[in-house]
Amino acid sequence: MINWDTDSTEDILRKSKAADNQPGVKAQLRLPDGTYVTRLLFGVYREAISSSTSVPPHLSDSVSVGQVFGRRNEAICVRTRDGAIWISQLRTPKKKGESVVSLKLPSIVQLEPDFSHLDLPEFAQDSILPSPNLSTFQEISFERFGSDCGILHFEFYNGAMSTAQCDRLHQALLALKKDTELKVLVLAGGHSSWSNGIHLNVIENSSNPKEEAWANIKAINQVVKDILQLQNMVTISAIQGNAGAGGVYLALAADWVFAKSQVVLNPHYKNMGLYGSELHTFTTPRRVGKAMLEYLKSSAEPLITSEAVSMGLIDDLPQQLAKHSLEYSSTTSPSSFLDNVKAFASKYRANEAKLAVDLARKREEFAESTKYKSIDEYEAQELAEMHDDMFGDRNGFENKRKSFLRK
């Protein structure tokens, strides 16, 4: 348990990391109105608000140690004895005799009943595409390398993407679409989880899970359509961590798809009682054919990187690097994989003539593949199936979801 009076920010980060997946580190949080709540903390990040003070000057006298004093999106900021931390996820501790496990949720969502009457300051980022900064909490950031290459980082806890998170990613992609200088865009999801599709916890917590699930699938579909419609740049999915369900198909919207060695992909929805969407009926057959897509969905088997490469589901990064006379770095450093992807992107971009030809071919192939059936029509067919699953519960989505989350 966190002791706000004696634990330093480093102590808190260490405790949190040790317990991050399960069971979470316990802490008593002081709300702005003076009341206290006890919660389990997950997804904790440092906040270096300034070099001279641990909280914004206008809050220094009024904010006590252990008090929640700000928010960013659905995360909360809490003062520590020597600084501040962001907490992205919370869960209510299980009481003696309780058989049902409470849901792990984005902090503001989890605290909503207690926060409904509180006016918590929003500490927004300076930009919709801020530069990566390890000294604060960021879900989305953008890193430019070279004059016209960039990496869009989106780090969502456990790879779950809520409606709100998808909407923010949509806005980021719209901003990048307007960047006329950008020629190569790398999509780098989370380090431990690239993406696992829609946010089942937020859906389950909703007062109307069916409507929330419907809103969530449409929001993630919009992100996929945003990527497909980036016709003036080459897109590369860099899968650094495991991916499941809609997260796999989100990655397949890019022109190139590379995955770190030994990453586990689960390209199916069957175990959750869903048909699936994310434009998978448009993107995947172009890579592996319709028969293989149906097999991947029906078999519900996991794949590691080498298996996915061998069947053509994703691309072979070492092979592509060799093709461009680049050496593949197999070091185990956290940045090694992304460095390899950046090297490929830079060399690919350097060949101006080839890039122009490939972009022209990309636009032609997209026009040809949507000539008789638009991506909106592909989406409409998938959503018709998902409507039967989410509202008609034809394959047990409700019970499968509850069983998975409450186990």
Asked whether 337 and 186 are in contact (CB, 8 A), the reply is no
108 & 144 share domain: no
Q: CA-based angle 393:228:124, to the nearest 5?
A: 85
Q: How far apart are CA 86 and CA 366, in angstroms?
A: 42
Both 180 and 35 in one domain: the answer is: no
Determine, yes or no, domain membership for 127.
no
CA distances 387 to 104, 116, 213, 249, 384, Å, are 26, 31, 10, 19, 5
Q: Mark whether 259 and 299 lie in a shared domain.
A: yes
Same domain, 160 and 285: yes
Identify whether 1 is part of a domain.
no
Distance of alpha carbon 159 from alpha carbon 242, whole angstroms: 9
Does residue 128 lie in a domain region? no
Is residue 241 located within the same domain as residue 307? yes
Among 254, 150, 149, CA closest to 195: 254
Looking at the fold, whether 159 and 199 belong to one and the same domain comes out as yes
- CATH number of the domain where residue 250 is located: 3.90.226.10
Report H helices in 79-194: 107-110, 112-115, 163-177
Q: Within a domain: residue 407?
A: no
For 57, the domain range is: 9-115
Contact indicator for 88, 137 with CB cutoff of 8 Å:
yes
Say if residue 383 is in the same domain as residue 264.
yes
Low-confidence ranges of the chain (pLDDT < 70): 49-61, 114-118
Which residue from 120, 203, 118 is spatially nearest to 165, judged by alpha carbons?
Answer: 203
The reply to whether 185 and 55 lie within a common domain is no
* Cα–Cα dist 36/54, whole Å: 21
Say if residue 203 is in the same domain as residue 108: no
Residue 134 lies in a domain: no
Q: Does residue 111 contact residue 104 with C-beta atoms inside 8 Å? A: no
CA angle 136, 142, 144 (to 5 degrees): 125
Instruction: Give yes or no: residues 59 and 170 share one domain.
Output: no
Answer with the one of 81, 115, 149 that is the final residue of a domain: 115
Single-letter code of the amino acid located at 15: K
- Answer yes or no: are the C-beta atoms of 186 and 152 closer than 8 Å: yes
Give the per-residue pLDDT at 36: 93
Q: For residue range 93-114, what is the model confidence (pLDDT) as tens digits?
A: 988 877 777 899 999 999 987 6
pLDDT recorded at residue 114: 62
Neighbour-count burial for 315-324, b at 16+ CB within 10 Å, e otherwise:
bbbbebbeee
The CA distances from residue 23 to 16, 18, 19, 33, 388, in Å, are 10, 9, 6, 28, 35
Same domain, 176 and 43: no
Cα distance between residue 384 and residue 380, in whole Å: 6
Q: What total of structural domains would you count in the chain?
A: 2
Distance CA 89, CA 108 (A): 8
pLDDT at 100: 73
Provide the whole-model pTM.
Answer: 0.94
Q: What's the distance, CA 304 to chain centroid?
A: 20
The pLDDT assigned to 330 comes to 75
Based on the fold, state whether residues 54 and 97 are members of the same structural domain: yes
Q: Residue 51's pLDDT is what?
A: 41
